Amino acid sequence: MALPNPHAPLAEQVEQLLATEGPLPIVAAGDPVLRQPTERFDGQLDPLLLARFVAALRTTMHAAPGVGVAAPQVGVPLRIAVIEDPAPVPEEVRLLRGRVPQPFRVLVNPSYEAAGGGRAAFFEGCLSVPGYQAVVARPAEVRLTGEDEHGHAFDEMFSGWPARIVQHETDHLDGVLYLDRAELRSLSSNQSMAEHWAQPTPDGAARALGFPLPD
Protein backbone atom coordinates (compact mmCIF):
# COMPACT_ATOMS: atom_id res chain seq x y z
CA MET A 1 0.00 0.00 0.00
CA ALA A 2 1.37 3.42 -0.96
CA LEU A 3 1.55 6.23 1.56
CA PRO A 4 -0.79 9.18 0.97
CA ASN A 5 0.21 12.16 -1.16
CA PRO A 6 1.64 14.64 1.41
CA HIS A 7 0.53 17.59 -0.73
CA ALA A 8 -3.13 16.56 -0.84
CA PRO A 9 -5.71 17.89 1.67
CA LEU A 10 -5.75 15.86 4.88
CA ALA A 11 -9.17 14.36 4.20
CA GLU A 12 -7.97 13.20 0.79
CA GLN A 13 -4.82 11.71 2.33
CA VAL A 14 -6.91 9.70 4.78
CA GLU A 15 -9.30 8.55 2.05
CA GLN A 16 -6.28 7.30 0.07
CA LEU A 17 -5.07 5.31 3.07
CA LEU A 18 -8.46 3.77 3.75
CA ALA A 19 -8.99 2.68 0.17
CA THR A 20 -7.51 -0.72 1.10
CA GLU A 21 -8.74 -2.94 3.92
CA GLY A 22 -6.52 -4.06 6.78
CA PRO A 23 -3.68 -2.52 8.80
CA LEU A 24 -2.12 0.67 7.51
CA PRO A 25 1.61 0.77 6.62
CA ILE A 26 3.84 2.08 9.41
CA VAL A 27 6.19 4.92 8.45
CA ALA A 28 9.81 4.23 9.43
CA ALA A 29 12.27 6.69 10.95
CA GLY A 30 13.82 8.89 8.29
CA ASP A 31 10.52 9.92 6.73
CA PRO A 32 9.99 13.69 7.12
CA VAL A 33 6.40 13.22 8.33
CA LEU A 34 7.77 11.87 11.62
CA ARG A 35 9.84 15.01 12.18
CA GLN A 36 7.23 17.69 11.58
CA PRO A 37 4.78 19.08 14.13
CA THR A 38 1.31 17.86 13.27
CA GLU A 39 -1.69 19.98 12.37
CA ARG A 40 -4.18 20.50 15.19
CA PHE A 41 -7.42 18.63 14.50
CA ASP A 42 -10.20 21.09 13.85
CA GLY A 43 -12.74 19.20 11.80
CA GLN A 44 -10.52 18.44 8.80
CA LEU A 45 -12.14 14.98 8.71
CA ASP A 46 -15.91 14.70 8.85
CA PRO A 47 -17.28 12.50 11.68
CA LEU A 48 -17.67 9.40 9.50
CA LEU A 49 -14.18 9.68 8.02
CA LEU A 50 -12.71 10.35 11.47
CA ALA A 51 -14.41 7.22 12.83
CA ARG A 52 -13.06 5.15 9.94
CA PHE A 53 -9.57 6.55 10.47
CA VAL A 54 -9.66 5.84 14.20
CA ALA A 55 -10.81 2.27 13.51
CA ALA A 56 -7.93 1.82 11.05
CA LEU A 57 -5.43 3.16 13.60
CA ARG A 58 -6.74 0.66 16.14
CA THR A 59 -6.47 -2.21 13.66
CA THR A 60 -2.92 -1.14 12.81
CA MET A 61 -1.94 -0.91 16.49
CA HIS A 62 -3.27 -4.41 17.20
CA ALA A 63 -1.62 -5.91 14.12
CA ALA A 64 1.83 -4.42 14.84
CA PRO A 65 1.37 -5.21 17.76
CA GLY A 66 1.79 -2.11 19.90
CA VAL A 67 0.19 -0.15 22.72
CA GLY A 68 -0.22 3.06 20.74
CA VAL A 69 0.05 4.57 17.30
CA ALA A 70 -0.01 8.18 16.18
CA ALA A 71 -1.38 9.56 12.91
CA PRO A 72 2.05 10.60 11.54
CA GLN A 73 3.19 6.99 11.93
CA VAL A 74 0.82 6.15 9.08
CA GLY A 75 1.81 9.24 7.12
CA VAL A 76 -0.93 11.64 8.23
CA PRO A 77 0.33 14.86 9.92
CA LEU A 78 -2.74 15.27 12.12
CA ARG A 79 -2.77 15.61 15.93
CA ILE A 80 -4.51 12.29 16.67
CA ALA A 81 -3.25 9.12 18.39
CA VAL A 82 -4.76 5.97 19.83
CA ILE A 83 -3.63 3.91 22.83
CA GLU A 84 -4.59 0.58 24.35
CA ASP A 85 -2.65 -1.74 26.65
CA PRO A 86 -4.00 -5.05 27.98
CA ALA A 87 -0.78 -5.22 30.07
CA PRO A 88 -0.32 -9.01 30.04
CA VAL A 89 2.79 -8.90 32.24
CA PRO A 90 4.00 -10.78 35.34
CA GLU A 91 3.14 -9.29 38.73
CA GLU A 92 6.74 -8.23 39.39
CA VAL A 93 6.81 -6.25 36.16
CA ARG A 94 3.45 -4.69 36.92
CA LEU A 95 4.67 -3.51 40.31
CA LEU A 96 8.08 -2.21 39.24
CA ARG A 97 6.93 -0.51 36.05
CA GLY A 98 3.45 0.51 37.13
CA ARG A 99 2.07 -1.23 34.07
CA VAL A 100 -1.67 -1.59 34.42
CA PRO A 101 -4.29 -2.21 31.73
CA GLN A 102 -5.45 0.76 29.69
CA PRO A 103 -8.68 0.65 27.70
CA PHE A 104 -8.79 1.77 24.10
CA ARG A 105 -8.71 5.55 23.90
CA VAL A 106 -8.46 8.20 21.22
CA LEU A 107 -6.29 11.23 21.96
CA VAL A 108 -7.15 14.31 19.92
CA ASN A 109 -4.95 17.41 20.25
CA PRO A 110 -3.23 16.03 23.37
CA SER A 111 -0.51 17.77 25.33
CA TYR A 112 1.21 16.82 28.57
CA GLU A 113 3.22 18.34 31.38
CA ALA A 114 5.18 16.73 34.19
CA ALA A 115 3.20 16.57 37.42
CA GLY A 116 5.79 15.70 40.03
CA GLY A 117 6.68 12.22 41.13
CA GLY A 118 10.24 12.22 39.77
CA ARG A 119 11.46 10.35 36.70
CA ALA A 120 11.39 6.69 35.75
CA ALA A 121 13.77 5.00 33.29
CA PHE A 122 12.88 1.88 31.32
CA PHE A 123 13.57 0.34 27.94
CA GLU A 124 11.20 1.66 25.30
CA GLY A 125 10.61 0.77 21.66
CA CYS A 126 8.73 2.24 18.71
CA LEU A 127 6.88 0.81 15.73
CA SER A 128 8.64 3.39 13.54
CA VAL A 129 12.09 2.24 14.75
CA PRO A 130 11.67 -1.53 14.39
CA GLY A 131 14.11 -3.98 15.87
CA TYR A 132 15.58 -1.83 18.64
CA GLN A 133 14.90 -0.54 22.14
CA ALA A 134 16.61 2.00 24.37
CA VAL A 135 16.24 3.34 27.89
CA VAL A 136 14.28 6.57 28.22
CA ALA A 137 13.94 8.53 31.47
CA ARG A 138 10.53 10.19 31.55
CA PRO A 139 8.38 11.95 34.15
CA ALA A 140 6.72 9.26 36.24
CA GLU A 141 3.49 11.24 36.39
CA VAL A 142 2.00 13.63 33.85
CA ARG A 143 -1.09 15.73 33.37
CA LEU A 144 -2.62 15.07 29.95
CA THR A 145 -5.15 17.42 28.37
CA GLY A 146 -6.95 17.11 25.06
CA GLU A 147 -10.16 15.80 23.57
CA ASP A 148 -11.65 12.46 22.59
CA GLU A 149 -12.92 11.61 19.13
CA HIS A 150 -16.31 13.13 19.97
CA GLY A 151 -14.85 16.50 20.90
CA HIS A 152 -15.23 16.00 24.67
CA ALA A 153 -12.38 17.61 26.60
CA PHE A 154 -10.35 15.67 29.16
CA ASP A 155 -7.84 16.71 31.81
CA GLU A 156 -6.37 13.64 33.52
CA MET A 157 -3.40 12.42 35.49
CA PHE A 158 -1.40 9.44 34.27
CA SER A 159 1.32 7.63 36.19
CA GLY A 160 3.54 4.59 35.71
CA TRP A 161 3.52 2.87 32.33
CA PRO A 162 0.34 4.62 31.12
CA ALA A 163 2.18 7.93 31.59
CA ARG A 164 5.01 6.61 29.42
CA ILE A 165 2.58 5.58 26.68
CA VAL A 166 0.81 8.94 26.48
CA GLN A 167 4.13 10.80 26.49
CA HIS A 168 5.51 8.60 23.71
CA GLU A 169 2.45 9.04 21.49
CA THR A 170 2.10 12.77 22.15
CA ASP A 171 5.79 13.22 21.35
CA HIS A 172 5.09 11.73 17.90
CA LEU A 173 2.63 14.55 17.31
CA ASP A 174 5.41 17.07 17.99
CA GLY A 175 7.89 15.43 15.61
CA VAL A 176 9.83 13.79 18.47
CA LEU A 177 11.00 10.16 18.47
CA TYR A 178 11.82 8.30 21.65
CA LEU A 179 15.46 8.12 20.54
CA ASP A 180 15.67 11.90 20.97
CA ARG A 181 15.17 11.36 24.71
CA ALA A 182 17.03 8.05 25.07
CA GLU A 183 20.32 7.09 26.66
CA LEU A 184 22.00 6.08 23.39
CA ARG A 185 24.51 3.79 25.12
CA SER A 186 21.51 1.65 26.07
CA LEU A 187 20.42 1.09 22.46
CA SER A 188 19.89 -2.65 22.07
CA SER A 189 18.55 -4.91 19.37
CA ASN A 190 15.48 -6.94 20.22
CA GLN A 191 17.70 -10.03 20.17
CA SER A 192 20.10 -8.50 22.70
CA MET A 193 17.16 -7.47 24.82
CA ALA A 194 15.88 -11.04 24.91
CA GLU A 195 19.35 -12.45 25.67
CA HIS A 196 20.60 -9.90 28.20
CA TRP A 197 18.08 -7.30 29.37
CA ALA A 198 14.76 -9.04 30.00
CA GLN A 199 14.77 -8.02 33.67
CA PRO A 200 11.92 -5.81 34.94
CA THR A 201 14.27 -2.81 35.38
CA PRO A 202 17.29 -1.58 33.35
CA ASP A 203 19.67 -1.47 36.33
CA GLY A 204 21.83 -4.33 35.03
CA ALA A 205 21.97 -2.83 31.56
CA ALA A 206 23.04 0.53 33.01
CA ARG A 207 25.95 -1.07 34.86
CA ALA A 208 27.07 -3.23 31.93
CA LEU A 209 26.61 -0.71 29.13
CA GLY A 210 27.69 2.37 31.08
CA PHE A 211 24.80 4.81 31.09
CA PRO A 212 23.24 6.73 33.99
CA LEU A 213 19.82 6.22 35.52
CA PRO A 214 17.90 8.97 37.35
CA ASP A 215 18.15 8.98 41.13
**Positions marked catalytic:** 169
Please indicate if the annotation marks 172 as binding a ligand.
yes
- Say whether 207 sits in a helix, a strand or coil: helix
Cα angle value 164/201/96 (rounded, 5°): 70
Please indicate if the annotation marks 126 as binding a ligand.
yes
Which residues are CB-contacts of 176 (< 8 A; sequence separation ≥ 6)?
none
Residue type, 148: D
The DSSP line for 119-132 is: EEEEEEE-TTSTTE
For residues 138 and 115, the answer to whether their CB atoms sit within 8 Å is no
Total length of the chain: 215
Please indicate if the annotation marks 168 as binding a ligand.
yes
- Say whether 97 sits in a helix, a strand or coil: helix
- Say whether 200 sits in a helix, a strand or coil: coil
Which residues are documented as binding site for Fe cation?
126, 168, 172
Which residues are documented as binding site?
126, 168, 172
